[in-house]
Amino acid sequence: MSVTAQVPVEKLTVKKSIANSSVLRVLRFSLKRLLTLFVTVVIGIYLTILIANMGGFVDEIIKGQIRDTVTQRVANNPNALQMEPELRKKLIEDQIALEEKRRGLNTPIAVRNFRYLSNALQLDLGRAINLTSDSGSKQVRLILLERLPATLLLMGTSQLFLFFSSIFIALSLSRKYGSFWDKLVIALSPTSAVPPWFYGIFLILIFSAALKILPFGGMVDSPPPPNTFDYSMSVLKHLTLPCLALILSSFFLSVYNYRTFFLIYSSEDYVDMAKAKGLPARDIERTYILRPTLPTIITNFSLLIITLWTGALFTETVFLWPGLGRTLFQAIGQYDTPIIVGSSIIFAYMLAMTVFLLDFVYALVDPRVKIGG
Amino acid sequence: MNNLRSSLSKLFQYPSAVAGIFVVLALIVVAAYAMITIPYSEAIRLWRGGEEVWYQNPRFAAPAWINYFSNQKYSESFAVNTTDGQVTKTVTPGSEGVSTIDMSYEFDYSYDVYPQELILYLKAAYNEKQPFVSVELLTPDNRTIRIGNFSVGNEFTYRFSQDEKLRTKLRTEEVIPALFSLPDSNQPLKGKYTLIIQGTTFEPDSDLSVEFVSHGQVFGWAGTDHARRDLVLPLLWGVPVALAFGLIASMGTSILTMIIAAVGAWYTGWVDELIQRITEVNLVLPFYALLIMIGTFYSRSIWVILGATIILSIFTGSIKAYRAIFIQVKESMYIEAAKAYGASSPRIIFLYLIPRMIPLLIPSLVQSVPAFVFLEASLAVIGLGDPVLPTWGKIIQDANSNGALYKGYYYWVLEPAMLLMITGLAFAFLGFALDRVFNPKLRDV
C-alpha cells in the first residue's frame, strides 16, 4: 500500500505518479470494499430483525401479554371495582392502547422494522422489552455492557491461552514431527468434534458432583465475598471449569492444524536452503517459517477477538455464566427483539471491520499482496 | 474401481478408522432394531405417556447392573400379577356363592438398600357386594406380618408406605424398611418373603385380580427418569434420530454446497457474484441465535430445525474453498474436450465437475456429521429439542433440569452422554482417516 521511501531524486516524478495511482487505487478499493461490506451488514441485520419479529407474530405475543397485565392491574384496583362495567372496559382499552403506544406497537411492523434497522445501524440500541440489567436499567447498551466483562473474562482467558499455547506447542511438535507427542496429538485431534458444553457436563460431574471441589456454575459465591482478594479467588474457582471445557474442546485440533500448517511451510525449498547454509534453528523458525504463515495467524487471531465479544452461548448456559451468550439466549426466550438485534449488530460490525482491516494487514505483512491489485 | 480398492485398503491401515466403521455399522443396526421393535407411534406414545403407562417403574432408579459394581446391593424392581400367573391364584368355592381366593407371591429379597415403595393394584368384579381382602407378609424367619384388611371396589390401590395403621402397628415411621428387617434392627433381613393375599367374594361370578409392584432402587438396563420412564426407550430411539439428523444435515449441506459452488464457478458473472454476496451476508448472521429464534418462535420440530440448519450451513466458508478448486478444474483438458463435443452446461457440471470433487467431498461429509449430531443435542439441552421425539439431548436436559448431577443420579447424564460421545467420535475418527487417505498432501505430514 505504501511506496518505498528511498527513491533517487531523478526518479521523483515517476514516484509521484506511482504514489498517486497507488493512493487512488487504495482509495477506490477501500470505498468499494466498505460499500459492499456495509450493504452486507444491512441485509444481514434486516434478515435478523425479520426473523426476530417473526414477521409480526412476536407483536401478537407481546400484545397478549400487555392485555393480560393491564386487565389484571385494573381488576386489582379497588377504585376500578366500583366503576360501571362499560367505563371499566373503556379504562382497560385506553390503558392497553397507551401501553401499546409506549412500546411502539401501534406503528405497522414494516415501518418499525426499518426504524429498528436504521437505529441499529447507528448503534442506537434502544430499550429492552423484558430484560433489565442488574442495576435495573432497560437500556440495551447498559445490559450488554454489564454482561460484557463476564464474557470477556471467560472467553479471553480460554481463547488467548488456546491461541498462544497451541502455536507454541505446534511449533515444537513440528520440529520433532513423528515423535510420540506428535502422534498423540494427531490421534486425539478428532476429539474436538465434541462441543465445549459437553466436556463441561463431564467436568461438572467429576469436579463438582463427585469430588465436590469446584462449584457447579455461576460466577461468584453467593453472597459475594466482601474483600477483593476473596472475591477474585471465588471468581477464579468458578472460572476454572467453563474455561477448561472451552480449552479442552478445541485444544488438540488447534495444535494439529497449526502443526500441519507449519510442517507444510517448513518443507519449502528455501527452508532447506537456509538449513544448508547452517542458520540456527531459531532464526529459521522466525524468518522462514513464521513469517510466511503470519497472514493466516493474524486472521485466526482477529477472528478470535470477534468470538471474545460474542461469548459462548451453550457453554455459558450450561455453566450459568452471566455473559453475553446466556443473555442472548434469555432474550430470545423472552421475545426481546432489541437485545437480539443489538447483539447481532455489534457482531456484524466487528466482523465487517475485521474483514476490511485484514486486507490492509495482509498487504503490510506480506510484500506479495497488493491492495486492490 | 481399483482406485477405490486401494483407498479402502489404505483406510484399513488406520485402527481408528476401523473402529469408527465398526461403531457406525453397530449404530445403524441398533437404529434399525429400535425402529422395528418399537414403531414410531408406539415410541411417542410411551415417551409422552404419564403415570398410566409407567406406574410399574420407580422414579430416579439407577440401572440394575450397578449392583455388580457396588458393595451395597440395591433392590431391584418387579411387577407381577395374577393374569400372567406369576402370582398364584387358587379359587375355593364355598356355600351360598361365597368363595375364597388365595393368592400368593414368593420372592427373593437379598438387597442392602430397601425398595422405594410396594404397591398392590386390586381389581374386583362384582354386582353388589364388594369382595374382601386381607394381606399378610411371611418373612424368612417365619413371622407373619398382617398388612391390612380392606374391601375392594372396582379398582383399589394400596400403597404400603402410606398406610397410617401399618405404621402404628409396626411402631415405625418408615414402613418398607421395617417390613424387610428384623424387629428393632436396621439390618435388612435377606431371604424368601411371601406375600399372601386372601380374598373372599360374596357373589357367584365375582372375581379378584391382583398386581403386585415393587418400586426398587434400580431398574432394568438403563434406569428411569423423573417421570418413571424407562430410559432404554429414549436411548434406543435416540440412535435413529441422531443418525438421521447428523447424516441428512451433513449430506444435504455438503452436496448442496458443492453443487452451488460448481454452478457459480461454471457460469461466473452475476450468478457467481450473487452466491458470493449471499455467503458474505450469511457470515454476518448469528448462526446459533437464528436457530434458537427459529426454535423458540416458529417450531421446535426436528425437521424444521434440520431444514434451517442446512440452509444456514450451505453458504459458509467451504463454498469459497470449493469454488477456488472448481475454477482450477474448469481449465482442465477434459473439460475442454467435453465442451468441444458439445456437452451442455448442466451435463458438464454434474458429470464432469462434481464427480472430480468426490474424494474431497466424502471426508468432509463424514467429518461434519458429529457437529450436527451435537447441534441437535445442544439445542435439546437448552430446552429447544423436539417436543415429541425421544432423543439423547432431551434426556440430558431432563436430567439437568432435575438437578441429576447435584443429586447424584449420574447414570441419567452419563448414559446419553456416552452414546453421544461414541457416535460423535466414531464419525470424527473415520472422517479424519478418510481425509488423510483421500488428501495425499496430508498423508506425508
Residues A91 and A175 in one domain: no
**Contact (CB<8Å) A48/B370:** no
A59 pLDDT more than 90:
no
Residues A239 and A277 in one domain: yes
Where a domain ends, among A88, A121, A154? A121
A240 pLDDT more than 90:
yes
Looking at per-residue pLDDT, the higher value among A5 and A265 belongs to A265
Residues A104 and A153 in one domain: no
Query: Cα separation of A91 and A96, whole Å?
Result: 9
ipTM of the complex: 0.83
Where a domain ends, among A92, A121, A150? A121
Task: Tell me if A86 is assigned to some domain.
Answer: yes
Residues A242-262, mean pLDDT to the nearest whole number:
91
Q: At what angle do helices B269-284 and A337-365 cross, to 10 degrees?
A: 120
Residues B268-273, mean pLDDT to the nearest whole number:
90
Residues A101 and A148 in one domain: no
**Contact (CB<8Å) A340/B408:** no
A314 has a chain B CB within 8 A of its CB: yes
Shortest alpha-carbon distance between residue A209 and chain B (Å): 6
Per-residue pLDDT, A372: 66
Can you give the residue range of the structural domain that contains A334?
140-365
Per-residue pLDDT, B424: 93
Residues A205 and A270 in one domain: yes
**What is the reported pTM?**
0.85
A160-206 pLDDT per residue, tens: 999 999 999 998 888 888 889 988 998 888 888 889 999 999 999 99
Where a domain ends, among A86, A121, A156? A121
Residues A145 and A110 in one domain: no
Q: What is the mean pLDDT of chain B?
A: 88
- Rounded-to-10 torsion of CA A316, A319, A320, A324: -10
Is the dihedral angle over the CA atoms A333, A335, A338, A343 positive or is it negative?
A: positive
- Picking from B378, B420, B429, the nearest residue to A190 by CB comes out as B429
Residues 332-371, chain A, touching B (beta carbon < 8 A): 332-333, 335, 340, 343-344, 347-348, 351-352
Residues A201 and A239 in one domain: yes
Mutant choice from B13, B250, B284 vs A, greatest count of A C-beta within 10 A? B284
State the residue for C-alpha cell 412476536.
Answer: A58
Residues A236 and A322 in one domain: yes
Per-residue pLDDT, A212: 87
DSSP A73-93: HHHH-HHHHTS-HHHHHHHHH
Taking a C-beta distance cutoff of 8 angstroms, is the pair A43, B281 a contact?
yes
A260 has a chain B CB within 8 A of its CB: yes
Task: Tell me if A129 is assigned to some domain.
Answer: no
CATH label of the domain that carries residue A356: 1.10.3720.10
A79-95 pLDDT per residue, tens: 777 778 888 888 888 88
The pLDDT > 70 percentage for chain A reads 94
State the residue for C-alpha cell 444456514.
Answer: B312
Look at phi and psi of residue B189 and say left if phi exceeds 0, alpha if psi is from -120 to 50, else beta: beta
DSSP A204-231: IIIIIIIS--S-SS-SS-SSPPSSHHHH
Contacts of A48 in chain B (CB under 8 A): 285-286, 289-290
Residues A215 and A71 in one domain: no
Residues 67-86, chain A, touching B (beta carbon < 8 A): none
Look at phi and psi of residue A45 and say left if phi exceeds 0, alpha if psi is from -120 to 50, else beta: alpha
B445 pLDDT more than 70:
no
Contacts of A210 in chain B (CB under 8 A): 410
- Picking from A328, A344, A351, the nearest residue to B283 by CB comes out as A351
Residues A96 and A203 in one domain: no
**Contact (CB<8Å) B427/A54:** no
**Which SS3 state, helix, strand or coil, does residue A139 take?**
strand
Residues A153 and A106 in one domain: no
The pLDDT > 90 percentage for chain B reads 31
A104 pLDDT more than 80:
no
B336-368 pLDDT per residue, tens: 999 999 899 999 999 998 988 888 888 889 999
Looking at the structure of chain A, the number of domains it has is 2
Amino acid letter, residue B293: M
B56 pLDDT more than 60:
yes
Residue A253 in grid coordinates? 485440533
Mutant choice from A201, A271, A356 vs B, greatest count of B C-beta within 10 A? A201
pLDDT interval class at A10 (50, 70, 90): low
Residue A62's φ and ψ, nearest 5 degrees, are: -65, -40
Mutant choice from A35, A314, A334, A346 vs B, greatest count of B C-beta within 10 A? A314
Taking a C-beta distance cutoff of 8 angstroms, is the pair B385, B301 a contact?
no
Shortest alpha-carbon distance between residue A326 and chain B (Å): 10
